[in-house]
Every structure is written in structure tokens, then in C-alpha cells.
Amino acid sequence: MDELRMQGSKVFGAALAAAMLASACLKTEEFPKEPHIAFKSYEQGIDSARLTISFTDGDGDIGLAPGDTLSPFNPGSHWYHNFFVDYYKLHNGQWELQVFTLPLYYRIPVITPTGQNKTLEGDIAVEISPLVLPQIPGDTVRFGVHIADRALNESNTVFTEAIVVQ
């Protein structure tokens, strides 16, 4: 019985070593150091909406820690936030940026992976309260989104599809 247990341990150990060796040989995906985003979804609920983007970042420096409040990430500066949402209304066939006192900006927390490979790929979702947006039923609106990393590299801008306010 002990011999059978030892053989099982050897097989498990060999399989584990083979898996580790194979994963070390796998080519890691490479992305540019600037974040790149793509629109994924916009879901309207009764009292909020969920806006989701997918992203990649080659050097993994997405996100800000709660203590990141010194320049250029100090409160009141443009870089205090790193997830930017703009609100547009369709007016006479043209998209017009709407400017509010309360901007639709967010802080993505640090999501840098541990280990040697720092590339990141994933989804980020934010909840948007429609209570802060001046909406009239029948309006056609959309959101524009871009993000920034800690090196202040900004991503491309993506847009939701046109949304008809209900």
C-alpha cells in the first residue's frame, strides 16, 4: 500500500513539474504600454446603469491606491481620477458633449498583477446613477469612455451605442 502511495505521489509530482515547465514555455501575450479599451456593454436598470469596457495594458500600471493623492494624483487635479466618462446628447444630428458640475469620473483601484509578467487584460464596470443626468424621455444620448494608467498614458476613447431615454 505504501508503494502504491509513493507511486501516486511521484506521478502527481511529475505531472506538477511538467505543468510548471509547460507554463514557463508558454508565450505571454504582449500589449502596448498604453492602455487600450473596447466597449463591452451598457445595461440600463431601474435606478442605475452599468457601463462595462474591456481593456489591455502591457505594463500593468492600471489603477490608483487610496494613498495616491500626491501630485499629479492630488484631489482636484485631472489625474485624481483614471476612468473618465463623457455624456453626449444628439442634437440636430450632431453629438454634443454635455458638461456637468458633477463630472462622471471614477478611480480604478490598483490591479497590477504580482509576478514577472505584468500584462493586464480584463473588464472594468462602473455604475452610473441616472439621477445625476438631465434626461428627457425621447432624448438620444451616448457615453464616451477613456482610461489612464499611472504613467499618465491615456487609452483610446470608445462610445456606447445610441441610447433612447425612456
pLDDT attached to residue 19: 36
Closest CA to 50 of 91, 95, 106: 106
d(CA 20, CA 22): 5
pTM strictly above 0.85 = no
Cα–Cα distance, 7 to 115 (Å, whole number):
33
Distance from C-alpha of 49 to C-alpha of 137, rounded to nearest angstrom: 16
Q: Kindly state whether residue 108 falls inside one of the protein's structural domains.
A: yes
Cα torsion 57, 60, 61, 63: sign = positive
**105-122 pLDDT, tens per residue?**
999 999 888 888 889 999
Question: Is the residue at 26 inside a domain?
Answer: no
For residue 134, how far is the Cα from the chain centroid?
26
- If DSSP states are collapsed to H, E and C, what string results for the chain? CHHHHHHHHHHHHHHHHHHHHHHHHCCCCCCCCCCEEEEEEEEECCCCEEEEEEEEECCCCCCECCCCCCCCCCCCCHHHCCEEEEEEEEECCEEEEECCCCCEEECCECCCCCCCCCCEEEEEEEEECHHHCCCCCCCEEEEEEEEECCCCCECCCEECCCEECC
CATH number, domain of 138, equals 2.60.40
pLDDT score for 78: 94
Confidence grade of residue 20 (pLDDT, cut at 50, 70, 90): very low
Pick 64 or 111 by higher pLDDT: 64
24 located within any domain: no
* Total number of domains constituting the chain: 1
Average pLDDT of 77-104? 92
Residue numbers of the domain that contains 110: 36-164
